[in-house]
Structure 1
Amino acid sequence: MFSCVVSAQQLLVKSILFSLLANELALGRPIVNGLVPEYLEQFHFAVSLQRTEDAAGGTNRTHFCGGTYIGDGWIVTANHCITSFSSENDTIITYIGGHQLNGTDHWRVFSIDKTISNPSYNRYTLDGDIALLHVDVTTSDGHFLDSLDEMIEGTLLLPTRSLAGGGVFDSNVLNLIGDREEEHENEYGSEECHIYGYGSATFYGPGSNLLQYGPVQPLGHRECREMLGPVVAPAAANSGMFCAIGLADACKGDSGGGLVCRRRLTGPSEVESFDNARPYTLRGVISYGAGCGLPASPGVYADVGFYWDWIQEQILMTSQSNIVSSK
């Protein structure tokens, strides 16, 4: 009986806290202590979600959240990014590819033709903070997406199981699939994980026109709970949310961006390059945290592996629906 009462009290406190922070979360969460990618195409799957508003002399575009392009027109982002977007005068567009936001490469800009919220999303606790967007390929250069799809096939893997399950850190963060799994069998510390986004470096600071990234390390639920406390930390190890901490942290405008992991370079003889056989695996979606870059304060992420069955189901249902409607 006591544990149930405590859980209810914690849920109430958490709900109040997130209600107070709703306006800040709606703005999303450069990366604190972030770096500009070493080579231009390192995060070619990075997405900027932007508001468009008609203004004198043209249309204003303002970045407010991030996302990850996973191919075939689909983007994974945070659910709170799209549920907080309610203006009738604004629309959402996507800028795909991780390049400078104020560039003139208009072929990277796409409107959205489908938005799918996760049914388990809780706007008070932010559990289930993951959503899908599909871009309208007719609104820009479809050839660009075709090329990007081919590129992503070999450079961005998708997880086949959850990272957050169990109270101990899952050392197989990469969770590589197919014949790559035996080739790059993983041990704790043999992988590196990065977050990326166009957000601000401080909570009240401006966003960045340049994509920035930084290193983080996923944590087990016990460690996360000890650092964040039971109110802010994910409710349970198998809740579909997990924590990560590192030299970098997400901040305002980074929400919806990805946490990706890949194997480390084996030594000085292995040279980094875009075509190197070190594909990233999309492990998490930036969700929330306590401030930006605070010492010993992890960020919280939606576990892509936990929701992978749901993601596949939504993509398949949409594909089948399009086939039927085209007949």
Structure 2
Amino acid sequence: MANVVGKRNKSVNFDNRIVGGEPVPVEMFPASVKFYNFGAFCSGTIINSWCVLTAAHCFDNNKEVYDMMIEVGARYTHDSGGDVYEVLKYVIHEDYNKTIPFSCDIALIFPTRLMKLGNKSKKALIVNTNKWMNVTEKNIIVTGWGWTRYGGPISKPGLMKTYLRFVSLKDCEEMHNIRLTPDMFCLYGEGTRDTCKGDSGGGVLWNDFVIGVVSHGDGCARKNKPSVYANVWYFRQWIKTQMEHFVEKVCDMFPPD
């Protein structure tokens, strides 16, 4: 999650981590992956064997694919047990940062080879309803590998999870005194639980569906400061279209004999 100080002063810190969470085995959240981009660390979500969903701001510091790497099936930040994939290409939403900072903060990554799926690496389900966009939803799951408090150390237990509640866009705007856009939504953990530095790009889960992507916030687990996420329901057609375009290009590159 990128860190936003004050009124949209865009100072981006990538490595957002789970605050107030508990360690979990990667088998519990096998769609979660790590994304390394020229020294910056983000998370992502497998949506099929050749595509990872992440945040657009994870590419702010570098856009050269040869400095990028996806790691799948690893529980710990430094874990030799994961499968590593180089990046063939990526797609950043064409309207990223155009309306306001972090608007359309969503991207797709395509590896150079198919990701091997198994116990520690499975594809996630893209949400097919907007019923989760309700203030009664109090058990939305976020996961990540990073800071367990703002400015603190990397999580030694590895992959962490916690639960957050949905906050209306109107209430979130008032709490932050900023304007948000319809492609965003907010979650809050009562000032004790949150995503933090390194979780950027990671998936947000509701009833086992991916509903969001970790985007940005004002510090981590601050009182009355919900964090902001990209709305996967809002972007579902864009995701589908980009995957179809990728398949078409690959088929053109490798035509049948």
Distance of 2:152 and 2:120 partners within structure 1: 34
Give the aligned length.
246
CA deviation digits over 1:221-274, x for unaligned, max 9? 122122222x2x514xxx201101125211111111111111xxxxxxxxxxxx
Runs of 4+ deviating beyond 3 Å: 146-152, 186-189
Q: C-alpha displacement at 1:74, in angstroms? A: 0.7
Aligned: 1:228 with 2:203 = no
Q: RMSD of the alignment, in Å?
A: 2.7
What is the aligned partner in structure 1 of residue 96 from structure 2? 121
Matched, 1:77 2:54: yes
**Aligned twin of 2:163:** 215
Contiguous gaps of at least 5 residues in structure 1: 1-12, 53-61, 164-171, 175-185, 263-279
SS of alignment partner, residue 225 of structure 1: helix
- 2:126 match: 158
Give the secondary-structure state (helix, strand or coil) at the position aligned to 2:22. coil
User: Which letter does structure 2 place at the counterpart of 1:160?
Assistant: N
Is contact 1:46–1:98 with CA below 8 Å preserved after alignment?
no
What CA distance in whole angstroms lies between the structure 2 residues aligned with 1:93 and 1:44? 18
Counterpart contact for 2:27–2:120, Cα < 8 Å:
no
Residue 324 of structure 1 aligns to a residue in which SS?
helix
Shift of 1:149: 10
* 1:98 CA drift (Å): 4.9
More displaced stretch, 64-73 vs 117-126: 117-126
| Residue of structure 2 aligned with 1:94, choices 67, 70, 88 | 70
Letter in 2 for 1:251: C
The structure-2 alpha-carbon separation of the partners of 1:228 and 1:45, relative to structure 1 and needing over 3 Å to count, comes to: same
Q: Tell me the equivalent position of 1:147.
A: 118
Match of 2:23 in 1: 36
Rg larger in structure: 1
Partner of 2:142: 195
**2:215, 2:230 within 8 Å by CA — same for their partners in 1?**
yes
Report how far residue 109 of structure 1 moved.
1.1
Q: Counterpart in 2 of 1:322?
A: 250
Residue 200 of structure 1 aligns to a residue whose secondary structure is: coil
Q: Which residue of 2 aligns with 1:3?
A: none
The residue aligned with 1:9 is: none
Higher strand share: 2
Change (3 A) 1:256 1:150: closer
> Which deviations, in whole Å up to 9, do the C-alpha atoms of 1:111-162 show, x marking residues without a partner?
111110000100761100000001122xxxx5x614369943xxx321235x
CA contact (8 A) 2:34 2:71 kept: yes
Displacement of 1:302 in angstroms is 0.2
Residue equivalent to 2:84 = 109
Are 2:72 and 2:121, in contact at CA under 8 Å, matched by a contact in 1?
A: no
Of 98, 106, 112, the match for 1:130: 106
TM value normalised by structure 2: 0.85
Question: Match of 1:147, SS?
Answer: coil
Counterpart position of 1:288: 216
Q: Does 1:64 align with 2:11?
A: no
CA distance in 1, matches of 2:16, 2:121: 30
1:260-314 superposed Cα distances (whole Å, 9 cap, x missing partner): 111xxxxxxxxxxxxxxxxx11011010011111112100000011011011001
1:307 alignment partner in structure 2: 235
Q: Is the 8 A contact 1:28 1:81 kept in 2?
A: no
Report SS of the residue matched to 1:226: helix
Judge conservation of contact 1:258–1:285 (CA < 8 Å) in 2. Answer: yes
Deviation at 1:40, TM superposition (A): 4.1
Q: TM-score, normalised by structure 1?
A: 0.68
